[in-house]
Amino acid sequence: MTDQTIYTTSGDSPALQTAVANAQATFKFFWRELSWESRRIVKGLSLAAVKMSFPVHSDDPEVPTVENMWLNEVDFDGASISGMLLNEPEWATGFDASERVTLPLAALNDWMYVCGEVVFGGFTVDAMRSEMADEERAEHDAAWGLEFGAPGFVELTMMPEGQPRVRLSRALDTPADQEALKRLEEGDHPMAVNLSASMDEMLREHPGAVTDVDEAGWSLLHREALAGNAPMVSALLRHGADASARTAAGQTPLQLAEQAGWPRVVRLLNGEETPVAVEVKAAAQVRSEQEVEASTQAGRQAHAQAQVQAPPQGKGLSQWVIGLGVIVVAAVVWLLMR
């Protein structure tokens, strides 16, 4: 996601411009987390939003060329980001708060999600916090009621229970940053690991799920490839999913994975890595794992902000999925409702 035009104002500092570039380069982690948040029975995130740069058309040299505003209820199709506008525009025209808007990925200025009180992403927020005096920064953080951490560092993704948190410098310019970033790109989301067996079982019992597409031509494979969920991609390929299938916009799963920057998914779709079979777990074990996940997420929400991120709005649900059980719904409903 780095080969994009970056919308900035002429007055942005180099640090802020770097923050925007790195927010764009790591947006895939936000989208992967949102893909799983939409499948959680108990929501785990108290906030999930993106900051977008809206063009401003004015002859007044005192007016900025763009206005940055936050969106929630975020959706992403590999090229464009859409969501509900949270701010009332001051300079940008043609937009209103609470209106659903769509902008190109290149207009992404920042992303942020919150679990408990811990902030993930927030590159530009950290750039601004880093320029504050200690007292001002403490007041800023207290007003938000969030754990931003030490200035100059960001977190990209939640880690599995028992593993240490991974903090990277906001500039992402050290060897340690690059090594950590590579590990995170190659790693799996904990829910992808826990639900891969139930996905495999569902695909055996409902083979139509492999080829079913929505009105935009998106299949499960397209969705999982864009979100970087390698275990789910592996399961779909084992069950005959077409890696060359195109959406109505002409996107293949491979193109989506390459654009997002998911190396393991790219290798799977290129045939450079063999999809690995998984042991199908008993339904009771899968339900137990889901209950643990729900309980964990509920605990993380105990001191969260009141606002809860809603799942992306659905675009239509295939009729055959209606009769599936709770396990299947938790695994794939987000993918089929788009």
Q: Are 245 and 174 found together in one domain?
A: no
| Percent of the chain with pLDDT strictly greater than 90 | 67
Beta strands in the chain (DSSP E): 47-55, 66-76, 80-85, 100-104, 108-115, 118-121, 153-155, 167-169
Determine the pLDDT at residue 151: 95
Least confident piece of the model among 49-53, 146-150, 186-190, 294-298: 294-298
Q: Average per-residue pLDDT in the chain?
A: 83
Residue 5 lies in a domain: no
Q: Are 210 and 242 found together in one domain?
A: yes
Q: Are 133 and 205 found together in one domain?
A: no
Q: Which of 279 and 312 is assigned the larger pLDDT?
A: 279
Q: Are 147 and 205 found together in one domain?
A: no
**Tokens matching residue 262:** 């998911």
Mean pLDDT of 48-63: 93
Q: Are 231 and 255 found together in one domain?
A: yes
Q: Are 155 and 200 found together in one domain?
A: no
Q: What's the domain count of the chain?
A: 2
Domain boundary among 138, 162, 186: 186
Amino acid (1-letter code) at residue 188: D
Angle at 296 between CA 294 and CA 300, to 5 degrees: 115
Domain boundary among 135, 169, 186: 186
User: Reduced to 3 states, what is the DSSP secondary structure of residue 327?
Assistant: helix
Q: Are 160 and 195 found together in one domain?
A: no
Structural domain harbouring 106: 14-186
Q: Are 196 and 181 found together in one domain?
A: no
Determine the pLDDT at residue 278: 58
Residue 162 lies in a domain: yes
Q: Are 70 and 128 found together in one domain?
A: yes
Mean pLDDT of 189-204: 90
Q: How far is CA 156 from the centre of its chain?
A: 10
Mean pLDDT of 270-277: 86
Say which DSSP state 58 is in: -
Q: Are 143 and 29 found together in one domain?
A: yes
Residue 164 lies in a domain: yes
Residue 180 lies in a domain: yes
Determine the pLDDT at residue 222: 98
Provide the CATH number for the domain around residue 267.
Answer: 1.25.40.20
Judged against a pLDDT cut of 60, whether residue 179 lies above it is answered with: yes
Q: How does pLDDT run across 300-336, given as a tens digit for each residue?
A: 443 333 333 333 333 333 333 323 333 333 444 343 3
Q: How does pLDDT run across 214-249, given as a tens digit for each residue?
A: 999 999 999 999 999 999 999 999 999 999 999 999
Q: Are 274 and 132 found together in one domain?
A: no
Q: Are 35 and 59 found together in one domain?
A: yes
